[in-house]
């Protein structure tokens, strides 16, 4: 941490330039009129199995995987491993649910979840709620990516005192903003391929070379205090960490494909078959994610937090510094540059996809719907570009206002909000029994309760200990809020239907949901 | 039609296997020094992928 790591930085910069050049050339790839929103924002809706695999994988291999999850495993042990069941169960869910959404979206030209809700429930207010939630929830998730880039830049010695201390963060932000603005979704789709190649090399090195240097996986697990290796078991009066683990996994899995950017990945594919094939293939990512999570234990086994040279880094970035420190300690400088480029580009691509998706949402469902109904073509895509900048600024605000010991809390916070659109979007795919005003009331309840619980935890934790009949059940805030959301939605819907309040016109028909 | 519809029910299995923590919250038995908690969950990546593939091939081309 003393001075700049020149070799690492040179390799890092070279890879970054390569990727950036590719990004600008992406504008010419499968040339199309980027002043059209569906071209800028959905790549023309014709990505096949391979590109979709990379795009969806890009959502998973992010700073979340490389920095945030290992940091939680490093700091808190087994609980951080919830990311594993989370990714395992998200694919079966996608397999069943998302082809329905793709079909109905294709039939009616929907490109966002809010479009679908608008058509299904004939309610501009509900669509606005879904759109606004998507934009809000995306911001902390992008923030996590910026933290990832910031940490690796800092780890290479790009840092300073005073206002210069924010240099890595500003750098991360500028890189991201500059390159999405130009090419839209084409940039991340093309870069995702290069990015994955760099990442596979890094992951392979990390999960083979590091364990061999530490004496194998057995030695790594042996170096971790046994109590840290499993969840605190239930005691009389409390469920311990078990309920937290399961609810974090389930809540994250249900939330994953509600995020605007995941839907972008799904909807830009060329058909339900592509989605189903991918759901069967993507678990390959889960396996590697599990190995990467174990980097947290490798950092413990390597005692990186006791290396004097890393003291500064841990002080500045907390446990989020554990993987960069491990790489610095284990790899030669040139490979550190390579691996850090993998992490940074791996954060950049999803951040770009996220901000584009949130921008689509703003333009389609807020700007066009409520502000400028007549806008089209160039004005529309310009509005989207400005919105994507605004979302990135929002992400920056999250980093500055709520500094997190564990970066993963940013993503979990986003999950608390986005999961509140589950009843309208996912339940809505199957039934219209829930009344539009009931759904809106449920959403308001879930958002209020979720935000209140998050505030009670100072926005720094997302496991809320619910007390039921003297039993303490620690669980993911997002799920508690969703339960309240659904309960209110059901009760209010029943009441409104009983009184005979109109539920609007359904623009979709049952056969629209099938292939 | 009805039998095609039943196949996706297989996909409930991974939810039960991975979300019911008492199934796997222990250190023993270890395999090659890896605690049960970890290898059990890694195993589910394979099981879940296999189940998804089975459902994919069983329902492919069906009008769902």
- B27/A230 CB distance under 8 A: yes
Q: List, for residues A60-116, the tens digit of each pLDDT value.
A: 678 888 888 999 999 999 999 999 999 899 888 888 888 889 889 888 888 889 999
In three-state secondary structure terms, A135 is helix
| Helix or strand (DSSP H, E) at A492 | helix A477-499
Domain boundaries, chain A: 6-26+40-408
Q: List, for residues A472-487, the tens digit of each pLDDT value.
A: 888 899 999 999 999 9
- B8/A96 CB distance under 8 A: yes
Q: How far is A53 from chain B (nearest CA, A)?
A: 15
Residue B1 pLDDT more than 60? no
Give the closest residue to A462 by CA, choosing from A470, A474, A473: A474
Residue B40 pLDDT more than 90? yes
Q: Report helix, strand and coil shares of chain A as percent, to nearest 5.
A: 80, 5, 20
Residue A46 pLDDT more than 60? no
Q: Report helix, strand and coil shares of chain B as percent, to nearest 5.
A: 70, 5, 25
- What is residue B7's predicted lDDT score, i.e. its pLDDT? 79
Q: List, for residues A358-389, the tens digit of each pLDDT value.
A: 888 888 888 888 887 777 777 777 888 888 88
Residue with tokens 């994610």: A289
Domain boundaries, chain B: 2-59
Inform me whether the C-beta atom of residue A94 falls under 8 Å from chain B C-beta atoms.
Answer: no
pTM: 0.89
The residue-averaged pLDDT of A436-444 equals: 93
In sequence order, the 6+-apart residues with CB closer than 8 A to the CB of A469 are: none
More confident residue, A420 or A243: A420
Q: What are the residues facing A475 on neighbouring strands?
A: A464
User: Which fold does the domain A6-26+40-408 belong to in CATH?
Assistant: Sodium/glucose cotransporter (1.20.1730)
Q: List, for residues A303-321, the tens digit of each pLDDT value.
A: 888 888 888 888 888 898 9
The predicted complex's ipTM stands at 0.90
In this prediction, residue A237 has a pLDDT band, given cuts at 50, 70 and 90, of: confident
Q: What are the residues facing A472 on neighbouring strands?
A: A238, A467
b/e map A243-276, b = 16+ CB within 10 Å = bbbbbbbbbbbbbbbbbbbbbbbbbbbbbbbbbb
Inform me whether the C-beta atom of residue A89 falls under 8 Å from chain B C-beta atoms.
Answer: yes
The residue-averaged pLDDT of A188-198 equals: 73
- B33/A226 CB distance under 8 A: no
Residue A491 pLDDT more than 90? yes
Q: How far is B52 from chain A (nearest CA, A)?
A: 5
Residue A440 pLDDT more than 90? yes
Residues of A in contact with B56 (CB under 8 A): 95, 276-277, 279-280
Cis preceding linkage at A93, omega within 30: no
Q: List, for residues A118-141, the tens digit of each pLDDT value.
A: 999 999 999 999 999 999 999 988
- The residue of chain A with its CA nearest to that of B16 is A89
């Amino acid at each position: 941490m003393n001075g700049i790591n020149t070799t690492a930085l040179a390799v890092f910069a070279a890879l970054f330039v390569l990727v950036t050049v590719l990004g600008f050339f992406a504008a010419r790839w499968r040339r199309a009129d980027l002043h059209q929103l569906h071209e800028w924002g959905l790549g023309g809706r014709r990505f096949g199995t391979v590109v979709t695999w990379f795009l969806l994988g890009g959502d998973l291999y992010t700073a979340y995987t490389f920095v945030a999850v290992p940091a939680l495993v490093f700091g808190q042990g087994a609980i951080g491993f919830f990311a594993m069941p989370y990714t395992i169960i998200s694919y079966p869910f996608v397999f069943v649910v998302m082809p329905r959404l793709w079909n109905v979206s294709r039939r009616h030209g929907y490109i966002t979840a809010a479009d679908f809700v608008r058509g299904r429930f004939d309610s501009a207010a509900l669509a606005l709620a879904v759109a606004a939630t998507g934009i809000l929830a995306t911001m902390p998730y992008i923030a996590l990516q910026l933290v990832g880039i910031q940490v690796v830049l800092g780890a290479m010695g790009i840092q300073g005192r005073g206002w210069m201390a924010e240099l890595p963060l500003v750098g991360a932000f500028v890189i991201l903003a500059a390159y999405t603005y130009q090419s839209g979704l084409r940039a991340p789709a093309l870069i995702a391929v290069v990015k994955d190649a760099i990442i596979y090399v890094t992951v392979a090195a990390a999960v083979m070379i590091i364990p061999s240097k530490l004496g194998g996986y057995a030695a790594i697990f042996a170096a971790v205090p046994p109590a840290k290796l499993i969840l605190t078991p239930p005691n009389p009066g409390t469920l311990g960490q078990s309920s937290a683990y399961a609810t974090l996994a389930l809540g994250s899995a249900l939330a994953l494909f509600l995020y605007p950017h995941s839907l972008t990945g799904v909807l830009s594919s060329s058909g339900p078959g592509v989605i189903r094939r991918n759901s069967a293939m993507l678990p390959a990512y889960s396996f590697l994610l599990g190995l990467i999570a174990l980097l947290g234990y490798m950092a413990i086994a390597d005692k990186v937090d006791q290396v004097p040279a890393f003291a500064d880094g841990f002080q500045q970035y907390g446990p989020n510094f554990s993987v960069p420190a491990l790489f610095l300690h284990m790899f030669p400088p040139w490979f550190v540059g390579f691996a850090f480029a993998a992490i940074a580009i791996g954060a950049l691509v999803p951040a770009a996809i996220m901000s584009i998706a949130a921008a689509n949402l703003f333009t389609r469902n807020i700007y066009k719907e409520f502000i400028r109904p007549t806008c089209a073509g160039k004005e529309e895509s310009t509005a989207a570009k400005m919105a994507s900048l605004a979302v990135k600024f929002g992400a920056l605000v999250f980093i500055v206002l709520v500094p997190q010991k564990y970066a993963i809390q940013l993503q979990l916070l986003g999950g608390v909000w986005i999961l509140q659109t589950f009843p309208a979007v996912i339940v809505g795919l199957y039934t219209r029994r829930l009344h539009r005003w009931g759904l809106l009331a449920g959403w308001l309840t879930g958002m209020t309760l979720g935000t209140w619980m998050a505030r009670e935890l100072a926005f720094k934790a997302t496991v809320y200990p619910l007390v039921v009949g003297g039993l303490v059940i620690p669980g993911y805030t997002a799920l508690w809020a969703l339960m309240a959301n659904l309960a209110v939605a059901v009760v209010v819907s029943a009441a409104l239907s009983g009184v005979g309040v109109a539920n609007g016109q359904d623009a979709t028909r049952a056969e629209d949901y099938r292939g | 039609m009805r039998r095609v519809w039943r196949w996706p029910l297989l996909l409930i299995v991974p939810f039960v296997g991975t979300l019911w923590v008492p199934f796997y919250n222990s250190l023993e038995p270890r395999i090659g020094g890896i605690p049960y908690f970890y290898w059990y969950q890694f195993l589910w990546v394979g099981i879940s992928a296999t189940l998804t593939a089975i459902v994919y091939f069983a329902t492919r081309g069906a009008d769902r």
